[in-house]
């Protein structure tokens, strides 16, 4: 894996917040799906550039929480802020999802008919970069995730770990302040998972992003600054920095 010479030039300025970092504040968030109370009053503060892992049993509300932070859904009550700015309503969140947050899903959701490079360039088209700029940025990101020699491969021609790398590069394309990842190592063997985590940790340090990872994997929790455990739609315990 090569090292980028600092932040790429010509990257668009975030509309919010200033400074490239972010702080996530979740206040008394409640979310139900019909009779099911997925989140029952969750409050959480995540510092700028912090790496937080969210764990907890299946059905405890982890994905629901991540989706609310990324404005893929809206809370019934309570609020979510990033950098002191309320997360917009999902139907008004297109710009927010392009520029402020980056998502990595468990099954990666790569576009099957586009190459690795094409997948990474897709979010750059939406933010109005020129073709030349997109090429430069996707090449840089492919290099960063160690896949420079796989640019032309379709997702079906890549290994699971390589697909994960492309998904990560795509999430980073527009320099998000907050990276949200739902079980990013769930489909990987332990060696590939470890490599993906190294990459995540390196990128976090290099780009100063805030990283929120939902995971059952103890290897992920071990890398985090802090582990937040959800049980039955509530935060179970929040150990301090020395007491994990």
Ligand X SMILES: Nc1ncnc2c1ncn2[C@@H]1O[C@H](COP(=O)(O)OP(=O)(O)OP(=O)(O)O)[C@@H](O)[C@H]1O
Q: Which is nearer to ligand X, 36 or 85 (CB)?
A: 36
By CB under 6 A, tell whether 38 contacts ligand X: yes
Dump the DSSP string for 154-184. -GGGS-HHHHHHHHHHHHHTT--SEEEEEST
Q: Which is nearer to ligand X, 49 or 164 (CB)?
A: 164
d(CA 16, CA 18): 6
By CB under 6 A, name the one of 58, 91, 132, 156 that touches ligand X.
58
Residues 130-149 that bind ligand X (CB under 6 A): none
Strands across the sheet containing 178-182: 101-104, 178-182, 210-214, 51-55, 226-231, 234-237
- The one of Mg ion, ligand X, none whose footprint includes residue 9, by CB under 5 to 8 A per kind, is none
Q: Which is nearer to Mg ion, 56 or 176 (CB)?
A: 56
By CB under 6 A, tell whether 64 contacts ligand X: yes
Q: Segment near ligand X (CB under 6 A), from 53-61, 79-87, 132-140, 218-226?
A: 53-61
Measured CA distances, 151 to 112, 198, 228 (Å): 14, 21, 36
By CB under 6 A, name the one of 4, 18, 36, 111 that touches ligand X.
36
CB of residue 33 to ligand X, shortest distance in Å = 3
Q: Which is nearer to ligand X, 64 or 115 (CB)?
A: 64
Opening angle at CA 196, ends 94 and 126, nearest 5 = 20
Q: Which is nearer to ligand X, 120 or 188 (CB)?
A: 188
Give the side-chain half-sphere CA count within 13 A for 197: 24
**Surface-to-core class of residue 87, CB atoms within 10 Å of its CB (0-12 exposed, 13-18 middle, 19+ buried):** buried
By CB under 6 A, tell whether 59 contacts ligand X: yes
Phi, psi of 43 (to 5 degrees): -125, 140
Q: Segment near ligand X (CB under 6 A), from 16-24, 32-40, 146-154, 221-229?
A: 32-40
Contacting positions for ligand X (CB under 6 A): 33, 36, 38, 56, 58-64
């Amino acid at each position: 894996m090569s090292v980028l010479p600092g932040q790429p030039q010509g990257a668009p300025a975030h509309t919010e917040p200033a400074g490239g970092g972010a702080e996530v504040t979740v206040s008394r968030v409640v979310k139900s799906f019909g009779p099911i109370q997925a989140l029952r009053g969750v409050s959480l503060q995540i510092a700028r550039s912090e790496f937080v892992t969210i764990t907890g049993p299946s059905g405890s509300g982890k994905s629901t929480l991540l989706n609310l932070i990324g404005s893929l859904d809206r809370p019934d009550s309570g609020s979510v802020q990033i950098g002191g700015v309320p997360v917009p309503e999902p139907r008004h969140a297109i710009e927010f999802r392009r520029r402020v947050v980056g998502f990595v899903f468990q099954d990666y959701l790569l576009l099957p008919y586009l190459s690795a490079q094409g997948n990474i360039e897709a979010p750059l088209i939406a933010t109005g970069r020129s073709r030349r700029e997109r090429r430069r940025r996707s090449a840089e990101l492919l290099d960063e995730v160690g896949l420079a020699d796989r640019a032309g491969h379709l997702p079906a021609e890549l290994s699971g770990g390589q697909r994960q790398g492309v998904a990560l590069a795509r999430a980073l394309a527009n320099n998000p302040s907050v990276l949200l990842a739902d079980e990013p190592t769930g489909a990987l063997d332990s060696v590939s998972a470890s490599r993906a985590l190294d990459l995540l940790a390196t990128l976090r340090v290099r780009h100063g992003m805030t990283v929120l990872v939902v995971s059952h994997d103890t290897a992920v929790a071990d890398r985090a600054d802090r582990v937040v455990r959800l049980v039955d739609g509530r935060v179970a315990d929040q150990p301090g920095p020395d007491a994990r």
